[in-house]
């Protein structure tokens, strides 16, 4: 068998981002962690880590990480059937989109975490990067809008988030005095999440507008809603966040009846064992009440 002490050292260095922090987590000195990595590299005959420009696994290191992650999931199952083995908690690193984390995610997974003693290690990523980190063995699962599973993984549809163009009523009155006047989009500042955000473009296309538009960039779901409520722009806000402010009258719908929908898929390792199956079942079930689904 492989020497899992060495593999665990590698996984912990990558997870914590450094030798010193890995040592703290493992209860080892920094030099002991470093020696384990060196030994692993000597046995493998090639490096598993590159130090510059930032600490990351080599291609070989990534294959090892991927393996360690699956072994850890299987160990989780074993501990479930043999509770006396250890009372350690599982930690699962999951990549997900910022809007899910800011809205329905906690409700969907809260009870499961308590029941199963699961600790979450959440990372916010665009779907392309989230799936790449999964291929690289850096995350165990990925929630995103791609329906293309990575090799060795499964992909399950959970439902969809619906976004509407919301702004403060006085903002709409000031910037969009004439409903249907497309030239208003050229002047009215939008709020977009980041340079890769396609929601705004999809909304404008649905309105028949394809030109330039001024925009604020705000990479925070909560900050996004707050900027809209402060009256400095309109933006695509998920129903989970928008409904409260529509009801209170703080925000209004710029294009009533128009929503831009984003389908969400859950990607997870095929050999993730019973624990991953239970987590997936929980998410599918919770999402059916928390997300919009086709009936």
Return the range that interacts with a copy of itself (CB under 8 A); candidates 149-157, 158-166, 220-228, 257-265.
220-228
Task: Measure the CA–CA gap between 11 and 65, rounded to whole angstroms.
Answer: 6
For a copy of itself, the binding residues in 114-153 under the rule CB under 8 A are 114, 119-124
Write down the least CB distance from residue 124 to a copy of itself, Å. 6
Residue 266 contacts a copy of itself per CB under 8 A: no
Angle at CA of residue 106, ends 217 and 257, nearest 5°: 55
Is residue 169 within the footprint of a copy of itself (CB under 8 A)? no
Three-class HEC string of 225-264: HHHHHCCCCEEEEEHHHHHHHHHHCCCEECCCCCCEEEEE
Is residue 224 within 8 Å of residue 193, measured between CB atoms?
Answer: yes
Q: Does 86 bind a copy of itself (CB under 8 A)?
A: no
Q: CB 270 → a copy of itself: shortest distance, Å?
A: 25
Closer residue to a copy of itself (CB): 100 or 149 = 100
Answer for which of 29, 46, 107, 288 binds a copy of itself (CB under 8 A) is 107
* 148/288 with CB nearer a copy of itself: 288
Closest of 167, 116, 181, 162 to residue 260, by C-alpha: 162
Chain positions 37 to 56 lying near a copy of itself, rule: CB under 8 A, are 53
Of 39-47, 151-159, 213-221, 248-256, the segment contacting a copy of itself by CB under 8 A is 213-221
Please say whether the beta carbons of 40 and 10 come within 8 A.
yes
How near is the Cβ of 127 to a copy of itself at its closest, in Å?
17
CB 157 within 8 A of CB 147: yes
Please tell me whether residue 283 binds a copy of itself under the rule CB under 8 A. no
Cβ atoms of 118 and 272 within 8 Å: the answer is no
Hey, what's the torsion of the CAs at 71, 76, 80, 82, to 10 degrees? 50
Count of residues that bind a copy of itself according to CB under 8 A: 41
Considering only 44, 223, 284, 292, the residue that binds a copy of itself (CB under 8 A) is 223
Residue 78 in the binding site for a copy of itself (CB under 8 A): no
Based on CB atoms, which residue is closest to a copy of itself, 70 or 286? 286
Window contacting a copy of itself (CB under 8 A); options: 33-41, 70-78, 224-232, 267-275:
224-232
Binding mask 172-191 for a copy of itself (x = CB under 8 A): -----------------x--
Q: Measure the CA angle with vertex 88, ends 85 and 91; round to 5°.
A: 135
Question: What does each C-alpha distance from 12 to 27, 69, 103, 159 come to in angstroms?
Answer: 11, 11, 30, 34
Distance from C-alpha of 245 to C-alpha of 164, rounded to nearest angstrom = 12
For every residue of 22-35, DSSP letters joined together read HHHHHT--HHHHHH
CA distance 235 to 69: 38
Q: Cβ closer to a copy of itself: 157 or 189?
A: 189
Task: Identify the residue among 29, 46, 220, 243 touching a copy of itself (CB under 8 A).
Answer: 220
Site of interaction with a copy of itself (CB under 8 A): 16-17, 21, 53, 89, 98, 101-103, 105-107, 109-111, 113-114, 119-124, 189, 195, 214-223, 226-227, 229-232
């Amino acid at each position: 068998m492989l020497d899992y002490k060495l593999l665990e050292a590698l996984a912990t260095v990558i997870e914590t981002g450094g030798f010193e922090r890995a040592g703290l987590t493992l209860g080892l000195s920094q030099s002991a962690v470093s020696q384990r990595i060196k030994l692993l590299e000597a046995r493998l005959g090639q490096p598993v880590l590159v130090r510059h420009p930032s600490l990351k696994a080599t291609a070989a290191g990534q294959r090892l990480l991927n393996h360690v992650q699956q072994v850890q999931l299987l160990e989780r199952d074993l501990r479930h059937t043999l509770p006396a083995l250890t009372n350690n908690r599982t930690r699962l690193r999951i990549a997900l989109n910022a809007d899910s984390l800011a809205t329905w995610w906690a409700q969907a997974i809260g009870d499961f975490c308590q029941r199963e003693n699961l600790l979450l290690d959440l990372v916010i990523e665009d779907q392309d990067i989230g799936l790449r980190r999964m291929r690289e063995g850096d995350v165990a699962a990925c929630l995103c809008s791609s329906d293309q599973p990575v090799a060795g993984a499964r992909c399950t549809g959970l439902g969809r988030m619906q976004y509407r163009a919301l702004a403060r009523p006085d903002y709409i009155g000031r910037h969009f005095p004439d409903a249907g006047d497309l030239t208003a989009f050229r002047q009215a500042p939008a709020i977009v999440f980041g340079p890769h955000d396609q929601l705004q473009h999809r909304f404008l296309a649905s309105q028949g507008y394809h030109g330039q538009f001024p925009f604020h960039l705000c990479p925070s779901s909560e900050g996004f809603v707050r900027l809209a409520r402060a009256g400095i722009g309109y933006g695509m806000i998920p129903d989970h966040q928008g409904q409260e402010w529509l009801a209170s009258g703080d925000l209004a719908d710029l294009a009533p009846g128009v929503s831009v929908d984003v389908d969400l898929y859950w990607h997870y390792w095929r050999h993730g064992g019973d624990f991953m199956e239970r987590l997936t079942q929980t998410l599918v079930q919770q999402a059916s009440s928390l997300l919009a689904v086709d009936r």
